[in-house]
């Protein structure tokens, strides 16, 4: 967004390679002027930077055991300290060729003996050999994405790296081999999301009747329903195209009620996400009810349930709903007259 905002650039395809600490995704985006459209995304189920840390941490512990065989490291808290130190060393190896992984007082010699520090050297070449499989998996998923969308890597306008792990030289080198050219560094990967959020915030403040609110074409966060144990079962993934539709058969409880609570957010626990709304369906106990989720282009989500007795539906505003859609939804909501006269209530409901 920072690269192309209000520059009126021609139609072009961009590849966003996003690898943070816990997840990875590759996305092809088509930019037309200031409009961004998600063509396709892939790799959301693959691991992120944390999975680069684990093989390196195992290697460090093995090397320490070779150097100090009489001092084992088997305490979970100590092992986590080693993983944290490896993560910091991994970041340093993006710019250096060798570092020392140092963790003080990892164990003691014997009962009540002197403390022993872990101090093991690691080179960039050693690290890259340890994580070669993870690099290959990420690049292979990116290649599959380009092949599925019919995107010629050599015709990509730009490749944007996002996330701290995307700074790894091995990843950059493998991606450059895939696209057949060097990858620029106009946007630093660790700050790409912050830069985009700042530009998006500034752009939203500039919305005027002559410059309407930008249309969103994909969900910014996953949308799901609450299941047993306050878990969140995803209905729409992050980056799901809008409009979109999903349908499921949900089981009614023994009391003859089906409660559908909809949330939006990244957490696997429902209460840690944004609550969008809920629907209660009455149906024969232990029966199955067909429930459809219709996500509109304007960011409104309609939950519709069909039962032998008829049907019921509810429309809610997602985090991606336009301000106009929120206002229209509010105006269509049946509320008491005294609520409709309250300006503060309107503003509150239009934003929740």
pLDDT (tens, 9 = 90+) of the chain, 352 residues, equals 555 555 555 667 888 888 877 778 888 888 776 677 888 887 655 667 777 888 899 999 999 989 888 888 878 888 899 999 998 998 899 889 999 999 998 887 777 778 889 999 999 999 999 989 888 988 898 999 899 888 888 888 888 888 888 888 888 899 999 988 888 767 788 888 888 788 777 766 665 555 555 566 788 889 999 987 788 889 998 888 888 999 989 888 888 888 899 999 888 888 888 999 888 888 888 888 899 999 998 889 999 998 877 788 889 999 888 888 888 888 776 655 444 444 454 455 555 5
Rounded Cα distance, 24 and 17, in Å: 8
By C-alpha distance, which of 43, 2, 38 is closest to 166? Answer: 43
Q: Could you tell me if 298 and 243 are in contact, meaning their C-beta atoms sit under 8 angstroms apart?
A: no
Rounded Cα distance, 124 and 135, in Å: 14
What domains lie within the chain, and their CATH numbers? 1-214 (3.90.640.10), 223-321 (2.60.34.10)
Most distant CA pair in the chain, distance: 78
Distance from the Cα of residue 72 to its chain's centroid: 37
By C-alpha distance, which of 318, 273, 278, 283 is closest to 298? Answer: 318
Helices 132-149 and 169-179 cross at an angle (nearest 10°) of 30
Rounded Cα distance, 236 and 246, in Å: 8
Q: Which helix (H) or strand (E) holds 122?
A: strand 115-123
Radius of gyration of the chain (CA): 25
Neighbours of 86 (CB within 10 A): 27
Sign, CA dihedral 128-91-117-106, equals negative
Rounded Cα distance, 263 and 234, in Å: 9
Q: Could you tell me if 295 and 245 are in contact, meaning their C-beta atoms sit under 8 angstroms apart?
A: yes
**Which one-letter DSSP state was computed for residue 5?**
T
By C-alpha distance, which of 291, 216, 283 is closest to 256? Answer: 283
Q: Is pTM, for the whole model, over 0.85?
A: no
Q: Could you tell me if 31 and 4 are in contact, meaning their C-beta atoms sit under 8 angstroms apart?
A: yes
**Which one-letter DSSP state was computed for residue 109?**
S
């Amino acid at each position: 967004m920072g690269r192309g905002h209000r520059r009126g650039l021609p139609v072009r395809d961009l590849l966003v390679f996003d690898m943070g600490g816990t997840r990875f995704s590759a996305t092809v985006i088509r930019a037309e002027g200031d409009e961004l459209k998600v063509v396709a995304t892939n790799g959301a189920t693959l691991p992120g930077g944390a999975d680069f840390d684990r093989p390196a941490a195992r290697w460090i512990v093995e090397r320490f055991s070779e150097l100090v065989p009489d001092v084992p490291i088997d305490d979970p808290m100590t092992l986590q300290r080693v993983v944290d130190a490896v993560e910091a060393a991994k970041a340093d190896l993006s710019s250096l060729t060798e570092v020392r992984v140092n963790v003080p007082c990892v164990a003691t010699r014997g009962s009540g003996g002197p403390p022993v520090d872990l101090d093991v050297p690691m080179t960039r070449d050693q690290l890259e050999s340890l994580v070669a499989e993870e690099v290959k998996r990420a690049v292979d998923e990116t290649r599959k994405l380009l092949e599925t969308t019919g995107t010629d890597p050599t015709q990509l306008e730009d490749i944007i790296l996002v996330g701290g792990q995307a700074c790894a030289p091995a990843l950059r080198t493998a991606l450059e081999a895939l696209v057949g050219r060097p990858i620029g560094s106009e946007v630093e990967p660790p700050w790409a999301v912050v830069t985009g959020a700042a530009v998006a915030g500034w752009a939203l403040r500039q919305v005027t009747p002559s410059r309407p609110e930008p249309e969103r074409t994909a969900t910014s966060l996953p949308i799901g329903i609450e299941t047993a144990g306050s878990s969140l079962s995803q209905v729409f993934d992050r980056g799901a195209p809008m409009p979109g539709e999903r349908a499921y058969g949900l089981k009614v409880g023994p009391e003859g009620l089906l409660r559908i609570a909809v949330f939006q957010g990244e957490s696997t626990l429902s209460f840690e996400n944004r609550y969008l709304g809920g629907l209660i369906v009455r149906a024969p106990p232990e029966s199955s009810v067909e429930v459809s989720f219709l996500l509109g282009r304007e960011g409104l989500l309609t939950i519709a349930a069909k039962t032998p007795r008829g049907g019921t539906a509810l429309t809610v505003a997602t985090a991606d709903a336009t301000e106009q859609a929120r206002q229209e939804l509010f105006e269509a909501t049946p509320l008491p007259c005294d609520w409709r006269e309250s300006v503060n209530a309107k503003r509150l409901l239009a934003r929740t």
